[in-house]
Amino acid sequence: MTVSVDLDRSVADTIHLESLPGVVDRLIQQCHDIGAPAMTAIKRVGDSVLMEYHGPLRLVAELRTYSALSVVLGEYERDRDDGYTGAVARLRRSVTAGVLSALTGVEDRLGFRIDPLRDRWTLRDRVVEGLSWQNDPGGWQLNLTRSGGLLVGQVGPLHRSSRFPAMRRLPASTNPLIAAVLAHLLHARPGHLVYDPFCGSGTLLVEVHALDAELTLVGSDSSAAALVAAAANQHLFPSGRLLRADAVRLPVATDTVDRVISNIPFGKRVGSHAGNLELYPAFLAELNRVLRVDGRAVLLTEDKTLFRRSVQATPELHVVREVQLASGGLHPSAYVLERTRAAARRLKARSDPPR
Ligand SMILES: C[S@@+](CC[C@H](N)C(=O)[O-])C[C@H]1O[C@@H](n2cnc3c(N)ncnc32)[C@H](O)[C@@H]1O
């Protein structure tokens, strides 16, 4: 059975989008930008967003800053006390006119699974009796679970991993939701050259390309294995070039790069804190060399004290913004770097022809 989603079918449902700390702020902004009539009653709940959705699913399916999309089935405790009557009614409504009505290829017999909730077997029996769906932990389209106080049904074919093409990953590859936030913070403009000097498998280049397919992209890494992974993903950033290079000796001329974006070694899965003591200052000096006068860099790290100290020791660059993020037990920050005003003035004076 091949299940797909009719993204052009108009649906009406209460939906829940699961995101990450720090990323959720960008998601909620994107939802407000789309706004009425498709998205109304937009509300942040923890690291997720709730809303009333009316319209073709394509609008929400294209957002890159959430992982799971769920249909809201009610308040978990209240619904359980109620024998899940409300949840079954909401599922029926969703399959008639809501998100679940856009699933094609299920032939009215949706497969579902249930997370280990208290009283899950009652919920299973209500769904099987009320809707004749199939409890199928190996081949489900709907995962019934809790998010905070809510009972929700996560729609498998609308998970981020189903909405976007699969990518080759490395153990330290950047979470794609975080990559989407970094790409947004970059403020790249048409014609810009964007460089990721620690590109790994190229996740950041994929997200930058998704924002603007016309940008010139370059990725480099010191590891041959990383570049093999990046090459396998290159169809997702076809305008990009990949190079093998040490980030402290980049193969580009001085003052030529508009934007630098990177998930730099945290000193945990990649490198070590001792290694970063040398790497960070040397890389920042190289960044300072290649970045144009009005350039901007967005760098992700968890080795924050060392990073800030290294920036302070690089007199021509400063941090203009920090966004705290979290994923997989790590709590990195994205740092936005620009030239200090004094450095920008000096560099501009040097490049402007004398009058
Ligand atoms: C956190 S990973 C980057 C993850 C990448 N954004 C992705 O999604 O796969 C850091 C990368 O830096 C590379 N690296 C470490 N030291 C380097 C150096 N001195 N020069 C260039 N690359 C380096 C590693 O090989 C690794 O691929």
Q: Are 261 and 196 in contact (CB under 8 A)?
A: yes
- Provide the domain limits for residue 227: 176-351
Total number of domains in the chain: 2
Q: Is 13 in the same domain as 151?
A: yes
Of ligand 1's listed atoms, the one at least distance from the Cα of 230 is 9
- CATH number for position 80: 3.30.2130
- Residues 88, 52, 103, 91: what is their CA dihedral angle, to the nearest 10 degrees? 0
Q: Which of 67-71, 192-196, 204-208, 269-273 shows the lowest mean pLDDT across its residues?
A: 269-273
CATH no. for residue 194? 3.40.50.150
Nearest ligand 1 atom to the CA of 246 is 20
User: How high is the pLDDT of residue 1?
Assistant: 59
DSSP state string for 104-171: ESSTT--EEEE-S-TTHHHHHHHHHHHH--EE-TTS-SEEEEEETTEEEEEEGGGSHHHHS------T
Instruction: Give the distance from CA 90 to its chain's centroid.
Output: 29
Residues 305, 191, single domain; the answer is yes
At which of 130, 163, 196 does a domain end?
163
Which residues, including other chains, have CB under 8 Å from residue 348's CB and lie 6 or more apart?
Answer: 293
CA gap 318, 120 in Å, rounded: 53
263 lines ligand 1 (CB under 6 A): yes
Choosing from 207, 222, 227, 327 the residue with most ligand 1 atoms within 8 A of its CB, the one to mutate for a pocket test is 222
The pLDDT value given to residue 338: 98
**Rounded distance between C-alpha atoms, residue 338 and residue 322, angstroms:** 12
Mean of per-residue pLDDT scores for the chain: 95
Residue 165 Cα to ligand 1 midpoint, Å, equals 22
For residue 170, is it within any domain? no
Instruction: Tell me, using a 6 A CB cutoff, whether residue 141 lines ligand 1.
Output: no
Are both 135 and 213 inside the same structural domain? no
Q: 60: CA distance to ligand 1 center in Å?
A: 32
pTM of structure: 0.95
In this structure, are 56 and 190 located in the same domain?
A: no
Instruction: Give the atom of ligand 1 at the shortest distance from the alpha carbon of 279.
Output: 19
How many alpha carbons lie under 13 Å from residue 98 in its C-beta half-sphere? 21
Q: What is the DSSP string of 54-97?
A: EEETHHHHT--S-S-EEEEEEEHHHHHHTTTHHHHHHHHHHHHH
Q: Ligand 1 within 6 A of 144 CB?
A: no
pLDDT, tens digit (0-9, with 9 covering 90-100), for 82-140: 889 999 999 999 999 999 999 998 876 899 999 999 889 999 999 999 999 999 999 89
